[in-house]
A and B are shown apart, each in its own frame.
Chain A
Amino acid sequence: MDFSYSEEQTLIANSLRKLLDDTYAQDQRQRYLESDLGYSADNWRQYAELGLLSVPFAEEVGGFGGSSVDVLVLQTEFGRRLALEPFVSTVVLGGGAVRLAASAEQQAEILPAVIAGECRLAAALGEPQARFDLNDVETTARADGGGWVLNGAKAVVMGGDTADKLVVSARTGGAATEREGLSLFLVDADAAGVSRRGYRLIDGRGAAEVTLDNVTVDGAALLGEPGAAWPVIEHVADLGNAALCAEAVGAMEMVNELTLDYLKMRQQFGRPIGRFQVLQHRMVDLVMEYENARSIALLAAMEADNPDVTTRARAVSAAKVYVAGAGRKMGQWSIQMHGGIGMTDEYMLGHYAKRLNVGEQTLGDVDHHLARFGAIAAAA
């Protein structure tokens, strides 16, 4: 049993931490947020140069052949600095769908540009009526000659505002909410009939509502077998949740660092407020939530690549429930412990709380994953 990073992982984590230390000071981050792009194009290029965008992809297509634990190593660092670049949407979600669903030829066609930082992806899986049920798909794909015609609407597509290509789930058969009959397509974001309403999420990252109005794609746009995409969709969501949990753990680490520093520094009633037992005990609660969140995020990363869906789902949904629950409590408690300063936009704490919030509400909330885990646990 070993909970530590490998030598290679430690090296990668250290070099990423250094890069982010140099490029993510608060005022720099604010500039990225205020730009049209919403993140640093320069950082994105550097991630590509460092090979970070290649991590989960096969060596045959120029990838690093890494695991979800390697992704965890990166995501923890991104979470610590609240990085804004579309790593999750491009590498974990969009890239995950491509590597799990697409043929070797398609991967060789698509992924080298992704790895080079020249093609940003987004996974357009959720729909306005679907909440978190990715099987609830009303978007349709109709066969037309050798190609397909897509119609429908996709909701809160993370990274969808800046993506070059979208991985779109659509129904080629089956009734609404059925798992059978779902297919995945790779669609150019600027194809005729695709309209995007881009916006920022509460944590500043970009996303979009996507409408598909008679979008025609050729036969090569279909990733995998028609009608058989559900297992890939479910797995991609698990990969995404494992990555979001790792990011949350990085953010939690900083929440605790900020809060503990504040308890030592802030003076009231003639002493540091950290001398008051009610705050000391709440701080212990924060530490406890962080440690357990970290433990279970490690489990999720270890199991996220497992092809056995029951084992994988049990670990990932457990992690999502725990991390999302802990993240919400930690956001609330840490703001309370800071008092007024915790309410300001200028102080970083609130930004961490908002990042934790987005993680909670993306790819299934606590209730969604509690039900998913509960069904597995009751049957076991």
Chain B
Amino acid sequence: MDLSYNAEELAFRDEVRAFLKDKLPQDLADKVKKSQRLSKNDYMTWHRILFDQGWITPGWPVEYGGTGWTAIQKHIFDEEASAAGAPRVQPFGVNLVGPVICHFGSEEHKQRFLPKIRSGEEFWCQGFSEPGAGSDLASLKTRAVLDGDEWVVNGQKTWTTLGHYADWIFCLVRTDPDVKNQEGISFLLIDMKTPGVTVRPIVTLAGDHVVNEVFLEDVRVPAGNLVGELNRGWDYAKFLLSNERTGIAGIGASKADLEHLKDMARLERKNGKPLIDDPLFQARLAQLEIDLMALELTNMRVLVEEQERGSPGPISSLLKIRGSEIQQRLAEMKMDAVGPYATPFILEAVDADWNGEPVGPDYAAACARSYFDRRKTSIYGGSNEIQKNIITKAILGL
């Protein structure tokens, strides 16, 4: 038993640190650390820096641009990038549709789509959820009917993250309505500029526009945009969702967040002393840090197993559940840390170019908003209840 990184892993960590020190723009890191709103340009700036380094798609097979990193190296990269304040790489192209195309796409798909996912030239979004198909994703109703050499698509997708930035959307569509739900679904790539595609914003409870509704009305899609085999889309979706859950515990980001919370608790005062020295607050903080430590170690156990056996398996669902809970508790404690200054709400205060006078400390404006925004973490990527159903079947055999 040995819980430390080996020499190669330590050398890799040094390489990552040097890269981050050299290449991560300071203004971008500051925005991330202050929980300010990031623009498409912010995300793509970082995307291109990673692309230039050859590090944008670590999870892909090497022949398509993967880095060949081990599971632990990927973890080291995530942890270091989070600690340095790098923005999250938007996953839709890189982590979600990219691997599906690598594994199930045609040669033509690979040549047409993969290079532009890597370069960031084309931005992707995900067309899975529908108004009537959330946790019961397989009940989705968006229809695709073949007309000559084109699919004609009608339906509605929702919760489409950053759909308003996207050039392409990968959709699950129903291509056979007469069989079991899971057996009549196909995986279709749709150009967002196609006539009949309409994007409408959904403003979430913290005042942000991140997610959208996407309406599809008689959208004509070339038949060749169907990935893999007809009616096998559900298999590809499961493959994609298991990739989505890898790393979803967000350990690196939560560790960075914990440090930020501690910094705040040192600045905030209670009874004339730093809040961090208040016994009640300190105990809550300690419990949170301990829970994160335990999860981090479990995550490492899973990574080592993944490295030895090739796949993380259903235990990644456990990581998703606890990881999302910890992300939420961190936001909760940040909100509690700023006390009454959690409540003033100035919509623009989290914009980087806002020059107004903050109400209370400058880190307070984002706290309550993050608290509400983080409620999503136990809902997206398969709600935590769905994750428990997965574990029930796959691990417990109940």
Contacts and interface: CB of A to CB of B under 8 A. Distances in A.
B286 A374 contact: yes
Contacts of A69: 1
B3 A371 contact: no
Contacts of B293: 296, 299, 318, 322
A295 B3 CA distance: 10
A91 interface: no
Question: Interface majority SS on B: helix, strand, loop or mixed?
Answer: helix
Nearest to A73: B1
Given A263-B398, A321-B290, A371-B279, A280 B392 contact: yes
B329 to A, nearest CB: 14
Given A280-B388, A295-B301, A299-B297, A2 B1 contact: yes
Contacts of B287: 321, 370
Interface string B287-321: 10111011101101101100000000001001001
A367 B6 CA distance: 36
A288 B322 contact: yes
B206 to A, nearest CB: 28
A283 interface: yes
Given A281-B388, A284-B388, A292-B322, A1 B72 contact: yes
Interface in B351-398: 385, 388-389, 391-392, 395-398
A1 B283 contact: no
B286 A377 contact: yes
A302 B1 CA distance: 8
- Which residue, of B2, B318, B391, B392, has the highest number of chain A Cβ atoms within 10 A? B392
A149 to B, nearest CB: 40
A11 to B, nearest CB: 15
A4 B300 CA distance: 12
Given A281-B385, A378-B285, A292 B396 contact: no
B321 A280 contact: no
A288 B390 CA distance: 13
B300 A3 contact: yes
Interface in A236-271: 260, 263-264
Nearest to B303: A1
Given A295-B301, A318-B293, A6 B1 contact: yes
Interface in A267-290: 272, 274-275, 277, 280-281, 283-284, 287-288
Contacts of A272: 398
What size tier do the contact residues of chain B reach? 35 or more
A298 interface: yes
Interface string B199-210: 000000000000
Size bin of chain A's contact surface: 35 or more
A275 B398 contact: yes
A284 B396 contact: yes
A274 B290 CA distance: 31
A325 to B, nearest CB: 8
Interface in A20-75: 69
B3 A298 contact: yes
A278 B85 CA distance: 40
A274 B393 CA distance: 11
Contacts of A288: 318, 321-322
A284 B392 contact: yes
B4 interface: yes
Contacts of B395: 287
A371 B283 contact: yes
Given A1-B2, A69-B1, A280 B294 contact: no
Contacts of B398: 260, 263-264, 272, 274-275, 280, 283
A178 interface: no
A374 B392 contact: no
B274 to A, nearest CB: 8
A128 to B, nearest CB: 25
Nearest to B290: A318
Interface string A308-322: 000000000010011
B362 to A, nearest CB: 23
A374 B286 CA distance: 5
B315 to A, nearest CB: 8
Given A284-B388, A295-B297, A296-B297, 4 more contacts: A1-B4, A1-B300, A322-B293, A367-B283
List the 10 closest pairs (A to B, CB-CB), nearest first: A295-B297, A374-B286, A292-B294, A274-B398, A374-B282, A280-B392, A296-B294, A295-B298, A284-B388, A318-B290
30 contacts: A2-B1, A2-B2, A3-B1, A4-B1, A280-B389, A280-B396, A281-B385, A281-B388, A281-B392, A283-B398, A284-B318, A291-B301, A291-B315, A293-B294, A295-B300, A296-B293, A298-B1, A298-B3, A298-B297, A299-B3, A299-B297, A318-B293, A321-B287, A322-B291, A373-B290, A374-B282, A374-B283, A375-B282, A378-B276, A378-B277
